[in-house]
Amino acid sequence: MNKNNRREDIVLTAAKLFRKKGYNAVSMRDLAAEMGIKAASLYNHISSKQEILASIVLSVAKDFVGHIDTVVPQPIASIEKLTSIIHHHIELTAEQTDFLACMNNDWIHLDEENKTLYLSLRKEYEAKFREILRVGMAKNELKNIHIEISVFGILTTLRTLYVWYAKKDVVSLKTLKTDLPRLLLDGLID
Amino acid sequence: MNKNNRREDIVLTAAKLFRKKGYNAVSMRDLAAEMGIKAASLYNHISSKQEILASIVLSVAKDFVGHIDTVVPQPIASIEKLTSIIHHHIELTAEQTDFLACMNNDWIHLDEENKTLYLSLRKEYEAKFREILRVGMAKNELKNIHIEISVFGILTTLRTLYVWYAKKDVVSLKTLKTDLPRLLLDGLID
C-alpha cells in the first residue's frame, strides 16, 4: 500500500470512528488499534487528529461547492439545476455517509482557521443555492415562495437525509432519486 | 403567586436554561439562582430535575398527539388536515420555542420510563401523520410519492423549524403560515 492510499485509509477509518463515538471520544490510539497498526506509525502519514477532521469536513464542503459551481452556469432550467443538486446530495449521502455525519456533528471541533474556512464554504453554498431560487422565481420558472423559507425547507431536508437514510434501508437509491425531488420541488398536491 | 403558578414558573425558567446550556449543565442550584429563590424552596414545588424535564418533554409530545387526534376524524380534505398540522407546528414553534428545543435536545436524558413514554408518543404521532398521507394518496387527493420519503421530508422540516426560526426574525409568522405549507405541500413548480 503506498503512502497516499494509507493516508486515505486512515481518514476513512477515522470518519467511521468519529461517526460512531464522536470526535472527542476517539483518540489516535483508538484509531491505530482499529487499523491494527502502532499509534507511532500513524504519524508517518498524518500530523494530528485535527488534521484528519479538517481533511474530512473540508473535503465534503468543497465537494458541495464544487458541484454547485458546475451547475450554476449551465444553460438549463432552474428546476433541472435544483434536481441536479438534490441528486448530488443523495449520491453523497449514499457514498460518503460517514463523512457527511462527521461534517454535521463535528465541524464545531475544527480549530479556528478551519472552522472559519468551513463556515465560509457553507455560506457560499447557501448563497449560490439561494441565487438559483431567486433567478428561477424572477424567470417565473419557480413559484414565488418566500426565499428564506424555501432555502430552509429544502436544505434542511437534504442535510438531514443521511441520518434518516442510514436507518431506512427500505427505500432504494433509485426511488429516492425519483421521489425526493418530486416531494421537494413538485409537492404532494397538483 | 399560588402554588401552581410557581410550579409553572419553575418549569418555564428551567426550559429556558436547559435550552441555553443543555440539561446536564444546569443544576437545581442554577435554577434557583435564576429565579432568585433558595434551592431548598424549589423542592416545595418540584421533586427533581428529572421531573421538570419529563414535564417539559411530555407536555409538548402530548400536545402534538392531542392536536393530530382532533385533525384525523374531521370531514375535510387531506390537504386541509396537513395544512392544519403545519400551522400547529408553526404556532408551537413561535409560542413554546424553549420547550420544543428542550424536547429535541434533551429527551435522551429522560429516565427509562419517561423515555419509553416519549418515544411511544413520537411513534404514535408519526403513525397518524403517515396514515393521513396514505388515505390522501388512496383518495387521489395527494400525489403518489413514496410515503416514507414524504413523512421524512415534511416532519424533518417541521421539527427543525424552531432552530431556524429563532435565528431568522426576518420572516413574519403570517408569511410562515402562508408559505411553509405552500412549499411543503404544493412545491416550487406548477
Dihedral sign of CA atoms B71, B159, A126, A161 in order = negative
**Is B182 an interface residue toward A (CB < 8 Å)?**
yes
In which residue are the cell numbers 443555492 written?
A129
Q: Given pLDDT bands bounded at 50, 70 and 90, which one contains residue B1?
A: low
CA distance A131 to A15: 32
CA distance A13 to A19: 10
Q: Name chain A contacts of B168, Cβ cutoff 8 Å.
A: 148, 152
Nearest CA in chain B to A146: B179
Residue B11, all three cell numbers: 418549569
Name the average pLDDT for chain A.
94
User: Which tens digits make up the pLDDT trace of A53-80?
Assistant: 999 999 999 999 999 999 999 999 999 9
Number of Cβ pairs < 8 A linking chain A and chain B: 114
Name the average pLDDT for chain B.
94
CA distance B148 to A190: 20
Q: Given pLDDT bands bounded at 50, 70 and 90, which one contains residue A167?
A: confident
Q: Which domains does chain B have, with CATH numbers?
A: 49-186 (1.10.357.10)
**Is B133 an interface residue toward A (CB < 8 Å)?**
yes
Q: Given pLDDT bands bounded at 50, 70 and 90, which one contains residue B168?
A: low
Per-residue pLDDT, A48: 94
Burial class (CB in 10 A: 0-12, 13-18, 19+), A42: buried
The helix/strand/coil state of B143 is: coil
B80-85: list long-range contacts, CB under 8 Å, 24+ apart: B81/B132, B81/B136, B82/A188, B82/B132, B82/B133, B82/B136, B82/B154, B82/B181, B82/B184, B82/B185, B83/B181, B83/B185, B85/B129, B85/B132, B85/B158
Q: Name chain A contacts of B136, Cβ cutoff 8 Å.
A: 188
- Under an 8 A CB cutoff, do A175 and B146 touch? yes
Per-residue pLDDT, B4: 75
Which residues, including other chains, have CB under 8 Å from residue A123's CB and lie 6 or more apart?
A: none
- Under an 8 A CB cutoff, do A179 and B146 touch? yes
**Looking at this predicted complex, what is its ipTM?**
0.91
User: Which tens digits make up the pLDDT trace of B2-58?
Assistant: 767 889 999 999 999 999 999 999 999 999 999 999 988 899 999 999 999 999 999
Residue A41 clears pLDDT 70, i.e. is over it: yes
- Under an 8 A CB cutoff, do B176 and A148 touch? no
Nearest CA in chain A to B179: A145
**Is A95 an interface residue toward B (CB < 8 Å)?**
no
CA distance A70 to A137: 20
Which residues, including other chains, have CB under 8 Å from residue B48's CB and lie 6 or more apart?
A: B28
Residue A98, all three cell numbers: 460517514
> How many CB atoms neighbour CB B79 within 10 A?
17
Residue A23, all three cell numbers: 470526535
